[in-house]
Amino acid sequence: MTAEARRAVLGQNQYGKAETRVVRITRSGTTHHIKDLNVSVSLSGAMDDVHLTGSNAHVLTTDATKNTVYAFAREHGIASAEEFGIRLARHFVTSQEPIHSARIRVEEYAWERIGTPDGGEAPHSFVRAGRETRTAEVLYDGEEWEVVSGLEGLVVLNTTDSEFHGYVKDRYTTLPETRDRVLATEVNARWRYAGTDVDWDGAWARARDHLLHAFAGTYSYSLQQTLYAMGARVVERLPEVEEIRLSLPNKHHFLVDLEPFGLKNDNEVYYAADRPYGLIEATVLRDGAQPRLPVHPARP
């Protein structure tokens, strides 16, 4: 086929401002509150012309979408990442005819109040809470809503109650079987709600608690089994959740061989390897629910 005969056509497209960092301070007297978000806006609709003809007549600028994030933070405050995402998505789809759907992704960085020497809390001093981030993703097409909440970077470790044995032994298998190992992972989870009538902060906190309780409470024969227990606990205990997808890197802790130094190592000294790592991923659904969470989510 000649180059002239091969015609290109425009496929799926979206645009918007990615990673707008917005920090909102709310002051109630001398006590201050902080919300720290990274917001990505992604819009789709009647956007053929901008790609094909050079007409920008349908284009709400990415600059304006960024400004909207800041203006809404001022005007409406940020009650939760989900509520803020819903407000933005509704605004873009209902205020601009050519925009048919909006996807808002939010990462939230948690700040905790710094304690005071007398056991109280400083009213306006904060410390960033670890590496963990809360995530929210809102999709609105003018009719249907999809809200997916999640968390990333929640690092957990069990010092026992983890075995791993009975696996396939091919000619390349060298891993020793173990009846007692350290099990550690970084929990990356996203869960999809059935609707939008949800107590976003409460549901998020309950989901996080259930993930932690299942990790701590499961006697594990593999990280796969622990993953399923974590996902199942969230789906079974939170009626508003349809499905959850977990991505768990196995943060291997290898026993160090101390025999060259004449020392025994009875599960006491480990080498924490950072790579490569096993990557265990699965979706857990409410029985009968449609799987809609993408297996490979786009970033940001």
Which of 35, 91, 210, 252 is labelled catalytic?
A: 252
Q: Does 117 sit behind a cis peptide bond, omega within 30 degrees of 0 on the bond before it?
A: no
Task: Report angle CA 43, 39, 81 to the nearest 5 degrees.
Answer: 110
Nearest Cα residue to 151 out of 208, 192, 103: 208
- Write the interaction track for ligand URC spanning residues 11-40; mark x where CB under 6 A is met and - where it is not: ------------------------------
Q: Which stretch binds ligand URC (CB under 6 A): 17-25, 104-112, 220-228, 256-264?
A: 220-228
* Least distance in angstroms from the C-beta of 130 to ligand URC: 24
Q: Does 92 bind ligand URC (CB under 6 A)?
A: no
Name residues whose C-beta falls within 8 Å of residue 32's C-beta, 6 or more positions apart in sequence: 25, 26, 123, 124
**Nearest approach, Cβ of residue 216 and ligand URC (Å):** 16
164 binds ligand URC (CB under 6 A): yes
Three-state DSSP at 274 gives coil
| Min dist. Cβ of residue 92 to ligand URC (A) | 43
Residue 233 burial (CB count, 10 A):
22
- Nearest of 297, 194, 290 to residue 246 by alpha carbon: 297
Binding mask 227-266 for ligand URC (x = CB under 6 A): -----------------------x----------------
Binding status of residue 222 toward ligand URC by CB under 6 A: yes
Give yes or no: 35 in active site.
no
Residues 6+ apart with CB under 8 A from 12: 44
Q: Which residue has the tokens 């007297």?
A: 29
* Footprint of ligand URC (CB under 6 A): 164, 175, 222-224, 250, 278
Catalytic amino acids? Answer: 17, 62, 252
